[in-house]
Structure 1
Amino acid sequence: MSSPNQPLDLTVDGGTLTARLVDFPSVSGEETALADAVEAALRAYPHLTVDRFGNNVVARTHLGRSQRVVLAGHLDTVPIADNVPSHVEGDLLHGCGTSDMKSGVAVQLRLAATVVEPNHDVTYVFYDCEEVEAERNGLGHLFATHPDWLAGDFAVLMEPSGAVVEGGCQGSLRADITLTGVRAHAARSWLGDNAIHKAAEVLRRLVDYTPRRVVIDGLEYREGLNATRIDGGVAGNVIPDECRIHVAFRFAPDRSLEQAEDHLREVFDGYQLDIADASPAALPGLSQPAAQAFLAAVGGEPRAKFGWTDVARFSAHGVPAVNYGPGDPNLAHKREEHCSLSAIAEVEERLRAWLTA
């Protein structure tokens, strides 16, 4: 396993660098050692200006090009599930964060170190706390404190996309539905009012709910509304007086946050609903000239992004953005998470060609 005292070598191939990044544990909120290593490695290259805010590292070229592009990726992972250190089986690199998204970060670092004369000025952003609640998101903190560091004409989020351009992203709305009753002894249940039993109607609405499929700019987005947690109960001999159901609504980018919340309140009309976390969606924006040029350079047929990414943050600040990375989004957060070594090399090669053509 890589040590926090062991410097990162950005001259090794992308797969090897990904393995070294994976072996730096960096669960959300614990990214300091990896951020230190990334900062130190980038400061070794005189063609880059390197800045840091918290555990967020930003490296930039200043060549006076007519346009600036941004490549961004998060340093954190979900909690490790006995899948660190990394190991290789054939073409597959296994380990926590291989897909989401240390393979993308490795590609960023390789390009930052080796593309000295890009055709655009380039900003490389490495940020923390993407995998947790929105208020802790490092990219959000950078936009709030140093927006000039993130200025650009186009952005690429190196989120796992299977080496295919994924446009826009779903919005995310999470809420708690609180059901109340009257506590009583279980032997005299008629004196109480069981809050857990009231969950049946809420769950019925979820089971009967038909999520939309929406086509935007030729890309189909699929919405979803699901219960993800239920909490309730006091003791084995007590009728519970409270039950809480946590619901997650992933919505298409034709809805604003306000429209998504209105829809959620309509579905659960008659119930107390408290919004716990909200992140807006982002439209694909593939008709933008910068996006068209990027698509032409990397090739492939674009598709919709299922999930929320920080594409939405760039979009909200007027910077067109897409998702493009070597990881498989279907493997994100899984115990058996892995990434194809050939996909890492392929994405690096395509991005290098885009930046140097």
Structure 2
Amino acid sequence: MSLDLNADTVTLTEQLVNIESVSHDEQAIADAIEAALSPLRHLELTRRGNTIVARTALGRPERVVIAGHIDTVPLNDNLPARNDGTHLHGLGTCDMKGGVAIALKLAQDLVRPNRDITFLFYECEEIEAEHNGLSKLVVSDPDLMAADFAILMEPSNAGVEAGCQGTLRVDVRLTGERAHSARSWRGVNAIHRAAAVLTRLAEYDARRPVIDGLEYHEGLNAVFISGGVAGNVLPDECVVTVNHRFAPDRSEAEAEAFVREFFDGFEVAVSDSAPGALPGLDKPAAKDFLAAVGGQVNPKFGWTDVARFTGLGIPAVNFGPGDPMLAHKQEEFVPLEHIARCERQLRAWLGEDR
């Protein structure tokens, strides 16, 4: 399917949504984006895997990254897209093809912006960090990531969400002894032992630190439980997978230490981890952007790639259409007004200096 960059941004969003792009299956949408941007002579185009980079090279004193991931979570009977005149419904409308559509329109229309711009359309954000297109780009082409400021077009209710929480996933392993269920007293049921883990989680009291005037809210939740051998056998192993969302005033090491202490007495193994990002609202580029778009700044509770930019010393914020509470839900949608507002504000900030 082709993309029409001359269409209005809502129509372009719908075109993007209707190209299925579940993580690891982004080739079709990456091909469409590359084909749409290739004729634009004011952009330098680079492709790495299914990540597309488009850059202006005007020699401006400041460079801004505008980034959006092109993958989605798996389908849930929520395609094709549906426009009811107020909202666009469907998988990826909110997270985050509305933001990608805005970036594509700006990439076409802003031939001489007042800042140099790097547009990043990248793969595999919704899965493990090792597959993330930005993490691969840091290794293969770190110069393409360079900037003074970065905007992640993640859904943020068309407002600014600063920083992000880190994420840590661990497996808590319980062991037992197999036995025939008819003689259960001869064994030890590992699944029953998981009750103590779940009780601790149910009693968890979330930390809510205030950073740069923004209150973050941590979380610690079981997200998977696995175990079992057969319908007549006591299981000798059970694994409870736990996700910890930690505020950006804690490092990954500090978050891991907290989780290990929380589950003291149990076997804990880390399976995935990514750092948070401090708000960085005191940076000059961030102050300039906030002054331009106005409105209240909120903390980002979910993890986003602002953390990746912060790790490179680049201040970054989330700013995109859609309610982040709708991300990954079957009833996902994006308000058409959010798309229009974000596009209008970015155009005004980036200007057109001819």
Write the letter of the residue equivalent to 1:233: G
1:171 to 166, 172, 179: 166
CA distance in 1, matches of 2:85, 2:97: 19
**Local SS of the residue matching 2:190:** coil
Give runs of aligned pairs for residues 268-287 of structure 1, distance below 5 A. 268-287=263-282
2:246 to 251, 274, 278: 251
2:21 to 19, 22, 26: 26
1:72 to 67, 71, 81: 67
Write the letter of the residue equivalent to 2:250: R
**Local SS of the residue matching 1:105:** helix
Per the alignment, residue 205 of structure 2 pairs with 210
CA distance in 2, matches of 1:39, 1:113: 12
1:224 to 211, 219, 222: 219
CA distance in 1, matches of 2:85, 2:42: 36
Per the alignment, residue 185 of structure 1 pairs with 180
Write the letter of the residue equivalent to 2:21: S
Per the alignment, residue 322 of structure 2 pairs with 327
RMSD after superposition: 0.8
Write the letter of the residue equivalent to 1:317: L
1:127 to 122, 127, 145: 122
Per the alignment, residue 343 of structure 2 pairs with 348
CA distance in 2, matches of 1:20, 1:45: 19
Structure 2 gap segments, 5+ residues each = none
CA distance in 2, matches of 1:66, 1:115: 17
Q: Deviations over 1:189-227 (max 9, x none)?
A: 111011111111111111111010111011110000011
Give runs of aligned pairs for residues 69-108 of structure 1, distance below 5 A. 69-108=64-103
Per the alignment, residue 312 of structure 1 pairs with 307
Residue 13 of structure 1, CA deviation = 1.1
CA distance in 2, matches of 1:12, 1:239: 60
Answering whether residue 180 of structure 2 is matched by residue 161 of structure 1, we say no
Residue 19 of structure 1, CA deviation = 0.3
Write the letter of the residue equivalent to 2:108: A
Residue 90 of structure 1, CA deviation = 2.2
Write the letter of the residue equivalent to 1:326: P
CA distance in 2, matches of 1:258, 1:272: 17
CA distance in 1, matches of 2:177, 2:11: 59
Answering whether residue 87 of structure 2 is matched by residue 116 of structure 1, we say no
**Local SS of the residue matching 1:193:** coil
Write the letter of the residue equivalent to 2:23: S
**Local SS of the residue matching 1:308:** coil
**Local SS of the residue matching 1:37:** helix
Structure 1 gap segments, 5+ residues each = none
Task: Return 80-89 or 48-57, whichever deviates more.
Answer: 80-89
Per the alignment, residue 301 of structure 1 pairs with 296
Answering whether residue 261 of structure 2 is matched by residue 266 of structure 1, we say yes
- Following TM superposition, the consecutive aligned residue runs of length 4 or more in structure 1 with deviations greater than 6 angstroms are none
Percent identity over paired residues: 61
Write the letter of the residue equivalent to 2:262: V
Per the alignment, residue 56 of structure 2 pairs with 61
**Local SS of the residue matching 1:319:** coil
Residue 342 of structure 1, CA deviation = 1.3
Write the letter of the residue equivalent to 1:306: F
CA distance in 2, matches of 1:70, 1:206: 39
**TM-score for both structures, normalised by structure 1:** 0.98
**Local SS of the residue matching 1:259:** helix
CA distance in 2, matches of 1:348, 1:11: 14
CA distance in 1, matches of 2:13, 2:85: 15
**Local SS of the residue matching 1:76:** coil
Per the alignment, residue 13 of structure 1 pairs with 8
CA distance in 1, matches of 2:220, 2:328: 20
**Local SS of the residue matching 2:276:** coil
Answering whether residue 334 of structure 2 is matched by residue 339 of structure 1, we say yes
Q: Deviations over 1:86-140 (max 9, x none)?
A: 1111210011000000000000000000011111100000000000111110111
CA distance in 1, matches of 2:18, 2:192: 46
CA distance in 1, matches of 2:33, 2:140: 21
**Local SS of the residue matching 1:239:** coil
Write the letter of the residue equivalent to 2:339: I
Aligned residues: 352
**Local SS of the residue matching 1:104:** helix
Answering whether residue 47 of structure 2 is matched by residue 49 of structure 1, we say no
**TM-score for both structures, normalised by structure 2:** 0.98
